[in-house]
């Protein structure tokens, strides 16, 4: 007979309707640790904590007590952000006394740690944690978020402040005059565009996707081109532009002859001799918004002077191992086909500040290792490197100007790091979002938040390919007793993490290779890619299918017999879900519960496209440990269809009334089908998974 294990709360109860609005709110006001370093996926702590606690507590635990333990208020309007609520001693004692486990021996594993949301909350509740991450950038983020904050010596923040300010003042003294004020107003940012020669009329034309500078209500500003005698000049206007863009969907339009310029021609010209033009200087003095000006001769002179200084220093930066001189592998990021080299993602003035900053970090690191030791040096160097990374993220030819918000958007706001036709540069010494001082503020807030919230508890952070990971790779003596896996694995083609991470990693590997001498990943300037599960130009759907099945089998091998798997998954395409079904069935998991949870906000750019998901599906599963006999079981399609309709109809109709969108309703229906198909007390092995998935889609359309 199939033995039903002691149920945990998440297998019978999960209040998605209460958690979703809190999670959406958190997406708009992030926990400080999320600002330590950008990463492409992070689940809200407001979602992780309820999942974590429900995965540990027994199903008999009082629901009201559970909500209180999570920090969830019955009054949404009075709800405090969950990440701000630190578990009390009483909370920890209650958890310890009410679980069916000895929590001192309980081990949670997250095989795909990413930005660290799951292990962060687990450590706040005093649990033993093993977290793995194949990507060395994410591995650095995990160390900086979870490990270092508990290793900080006395007066660390005073010392760190001194290190930063010393570097900042050195940079400002050397390069401050390269960012001149505009009539005594501090300049915050600059907007540029690319220029190409029209192959038809042979005139130089700008490539501009948006002529507006500010689209704020009552503060509208735009750039107006004026063409006279085959020359272009510009004026600032107090209204939104009606001028057509000169670059749409990577195809140029000549501002003179109006003929289309093929993308292949743009690529050829940018490859051979990229040209850009400064369009606008942005002042930060105006209290009602930014002030916009046409650049003057002194602005162009400062750019030229920076270029001359950089050219003199360039060979030295390369010889010292600071400046990335390699080509970007094609398809690493979208900009690779236009700009070829990593260093070409920046103009000379940007590179000058970035490289000098990196050199000063390297010099400080060499000094500290003699005076303070290796571990202290590691912590300081990683945090300063992250500050450099934050600066790079908002200060490149991949960064564009946010017209409604009047600020620079970071390079990774587009998941594939696309080239921006009109791009931005920040004044590193101004008090604006993305500047060095603002970046430092965010880094320190993140470190302090982690330092004040994390418990000193057994933690192991691994940097391995999970698919080939073995228990003997663990240092922890408890590694053979993984009672709980909570993880957020790659979602097919959501983002090619290994490729995108190189935008930062080509810099970090140079700064940190002498610190992480025992980690083979830091011997290369490239991130490892072969074992990455996510789909990319070099890793196709077949690779994903194979690896996802291997991944689920690994989950099975690490979990104890009564262990629990809790996995996020989301994808709008139903054919991707077949892989999830196949993997869980082949790995011999029984899906005991599924819950939709909102992990995105409707206002976010990456969920505005039709069919995009606001929700992820929480898949709760247990190992099937014994074979069953199904002599009298009705395994027909009609029986499966009847069971599915019976389980899904009322649940789906209820969610429609609550306002769920159709694409999110699809994943709820898929979850119900998963529960039936993997149930070891039923035998639907002859049922076509494709047909079952199509039934979920058909049912949703009928209800919606």
Helix (H) or strand (E) holding 169: helix 156-175
For residue 600, give both structure tokens: 């995105």
Nearest to 356 by CA among 485, 178, 534, 516: 178
Task: Measure the CA–CA gap between 483 and 659, rounded to whole angstroms.
Answer: 36
Give the DSSP letter string of 511-553. Answer: HHTTT-TT-GGGGSSS---TT--S--SSS-HHHHHHHHHHHHH
Query: With contact defined as beta carbons under 8 Å apart, do 368 and 376 qualify?
Result: yes
Query: With contact defined as beta carbons under 8 Å apart, do 419 and 249 qualify?
Result: no
- Three-state SS for 460? strand
For residue 615, give both structure tokens: 């929700």
| Helices (runs of H) and strands (runs of E) counted in the chain | 19, 20
CA 18 to chain centre: 25
Query: With contact defined as beta carbons under 8 Å apart, do 667 and 644 qualify?
Result: no
> What pLDDT was estimated at residue 606?
41
Provide the 8-state DSSP code for 77: G
Q: Give the length of the chain.
A: 704
Query: With contact defined as beta carbons under 8 Å apart, do 644 and 676 qualify?
Result: yes
Task: Measure the CA–CA gap between 180 and 283, rounded to whole angstroms.
Answer: 11
For residue 393, give both structure tokens: 């993220």
Where on the phi/psi map is residue 529: left (φ > 0), alpha (ψ -120 to 50), or beta? alpha
Task: Measure the CA–CA gap between 391 and 428, rounded to whole angstroms.
Answer: 8
Give the E-state strand segments of 171-329 in sequence order: 187-197, 204-207, 212-214, 221-228, 231-237, 247-248, 251-253, 260-261, 275-283, 291-293
Burial class (CB in 10 A: 0-12, 13-18, 19+), 452: exposed
Neighbouring C-alpha atoms within 13 Å toward the C-beta of 272: 9
Query: With contact defined as beta carbons under 8 Å apart, do 638 and 646 qualify?
Result: no
Task: Measure the CA–CA gap between 204 and 225, rounded to whole angstroms.
Answer: 14
> What pLDDT was estimated at residue 416?
74
* Residue labelled with tokens 């708009």: 28
For residue 360, give both structure tokens: 């000063």
Task: Measure the CA–CA gap between 156 and 344, rounded to whole angstroms.
Answer: 36
> What pLDDT was estimated at residue 629?
61
> What pLDDT was estimated at residue 607?
42
- Three-state SS for 604? coil
Max CA-CA distance within the chain? Answer: 89
Provide the 8-state DSSP code for 464: S
* Residue labelled with tokens 């993602």: 345
Task: Measure the CA–CA gap between 409 and 210, rounded to whole angstroms.
Answer: 14
- Three-state SS for 631? coil
Task: Measure the CA–CA gap between 325 and 319, rounded to whole angstroms.
Answer: 10
Angle at 471 between CA 466 and CA 476, to 5 degrees: 110
For residue 121, give both structure tokens: 């909350």
Q: How many CB atoms lie within 10 A of CB 552?
A: 24
Helix (H) or strand (E) holding 482: strand 482-487
The tens digit of pLDDT for each residue in 487-496 reads 999 998 878 8
Provide the 8-state DSSP code for 58: B
For residue 62, give both structure tokens: 């009082």
Q: Which residues of the chain have pLDDT under 50?
A: 1-3, 601-611
Task: Measure the CA–CA gap between 613 and 605, rounded to whole angstroms.
Answer: 12
For residue 17, give both structure tokens: 């309707």
Task: Measure the CA–CA gap between 435 and 458, rounded to whole angstroms.
Answer: 36
Give how far Cα 193 sits from Cα of 208, 247, 419, 674, Å: 6, 10, 11, 50
> What pLDDT was estimated at residue 494?
79
Cα-Cα-Cα-Cα dihedral sign, residues 444, 389, 298, 229: negative
């Amino acid at each position: 007979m199939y033995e039903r294990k002691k149920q945990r709360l998440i297998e019978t109860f999960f209040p998605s309707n209460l958690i979703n609005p809190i999670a959406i709110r958190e997406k708009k006001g992030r926990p400080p640790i999320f600002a330590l370093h950008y990463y492409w996926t992070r689940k809200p702590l407001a979602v992780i904590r309820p999942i974590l606690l429900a995965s540990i507590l027994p199903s008999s635990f009082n629901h009201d007590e559970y909500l209180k333990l999570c920090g969830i208020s019955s009054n949404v309007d009075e709800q405090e952000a969950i990440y701000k609520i630190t578990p009390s001693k009483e909370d920890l004692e209650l958890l310890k006394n009410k679980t069916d486990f000895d929590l001192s021996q309980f081990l949670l594993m997250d095989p795909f740690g990413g930005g660290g949301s799951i292990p962060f909350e687990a450590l706040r509740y005093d649990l033993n944690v093993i977290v793995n991450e194949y990507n060395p950038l994410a591995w650095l983020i995990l160390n900086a978020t979870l490990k270092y904050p508990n290793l900080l010596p006395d007066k660390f923040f005073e010392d760190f402040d001194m290190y930063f300010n010393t570097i900042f003042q050195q940079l400002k003294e050397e390069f401050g005059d390269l960012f001149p004020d505009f009539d005594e107003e501090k300049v915050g940012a600059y907007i540029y565009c690319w220029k190409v020669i029209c192959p038809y009329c042979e005139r130089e034309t700008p490539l501009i996707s948006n002529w507006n500078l500010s689209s704020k209500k009552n503060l509208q500003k735009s750039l107006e081109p004026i063409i006279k005698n085959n020359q272009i000049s510009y004026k600032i206007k107090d209204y939104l532009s009606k001028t057509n863009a000169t670059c749409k969907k990577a195809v140029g339009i000549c501002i003179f002859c109006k003929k289309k310029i093929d993308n292949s021609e743009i690529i050829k010209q940018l490859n051979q001799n990229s040209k850009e033009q400064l369009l606008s200087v942005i002042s930060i003095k105006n209290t009602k918004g930014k002030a916009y000006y046409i650049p003057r001769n002194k602005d162009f002179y400062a750019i030229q002077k920076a270029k001359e200084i950089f050219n003199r220093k360039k060979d030295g930066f390369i010889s010292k191992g600071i400046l990335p001189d390699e080509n970007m592998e094609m398809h690493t990021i979208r900009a690779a086909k236009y700009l070829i080299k990593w260093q070409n993602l920046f103009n000379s003035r940007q590179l000058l500040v970035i490289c000098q900053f990196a050199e000063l970090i390297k010099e400080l690191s060499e000094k500290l290792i003699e005076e303070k030791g290796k571990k202290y040096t590691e912590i300081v160097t990683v945090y300063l490197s992250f500050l450099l990374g934050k600066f790079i993220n908002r200060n490149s030819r991949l960064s564009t100007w946010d017209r409604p918000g009047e600020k620079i958007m970071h390079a990774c706001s587009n998941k594939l790091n696309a080239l921006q036709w009109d791009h931005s540069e920040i004044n590193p010494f101004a008090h604006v979002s993305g500047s060095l001082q603002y970046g430092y503020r965010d880094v320190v807030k993140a470190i302090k938040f982690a330092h004040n919230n994390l418990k000193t508890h057994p933690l192991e952070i691994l940097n391995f390919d999970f698919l080939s990971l073995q228990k003997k790779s663990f240092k922890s003596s408890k590694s053979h007793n993984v009672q709980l896996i909570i993880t957020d694995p790659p979602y097919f083609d959501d983002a090619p993490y290994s490729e995108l991470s190189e935008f930062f990693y080509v810099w970090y590997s140079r700064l940190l290779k002498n610190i992480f001498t025992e980690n083979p990943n830091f011997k290369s300037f490239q991130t490892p890619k072969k074992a990455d599960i996510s789909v990319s130009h070099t890793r196709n759907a077949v690779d994903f299918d194979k690896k996802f099945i291997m991944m689920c089998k690994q989950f099975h091998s690490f979990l104890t017999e009564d262990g629990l798997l809790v996995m996020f998954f989301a994808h709008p395409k139903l054919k991707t879900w077949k892989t999830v079904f196949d993997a869980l069935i082949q790995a011999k998991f029984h899906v005991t519960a599924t819950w939709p949870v909102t992990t995105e906000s409707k206002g976010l750019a990456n969920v505005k496209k039709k069919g995009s998901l606001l929700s992820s599906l929480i898949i709760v599963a247990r190992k099937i440990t014994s074979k069953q006999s199904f002599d009298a079981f009705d395994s027909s399609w009609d029986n499966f269809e009847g069971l599915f309709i019976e389980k899904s109809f009322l649940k789906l109709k209820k969610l429609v009334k609550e306002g769920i969108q159709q694409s999110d309703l699809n994943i709820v229906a898929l979850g119900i089908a998963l529960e039936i198909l993997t149930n070891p007390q039923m035998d639907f092995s002859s049922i076509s998974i494709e047909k079952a998935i199509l039934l979920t889609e058909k049912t949703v359309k009928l209800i919606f």
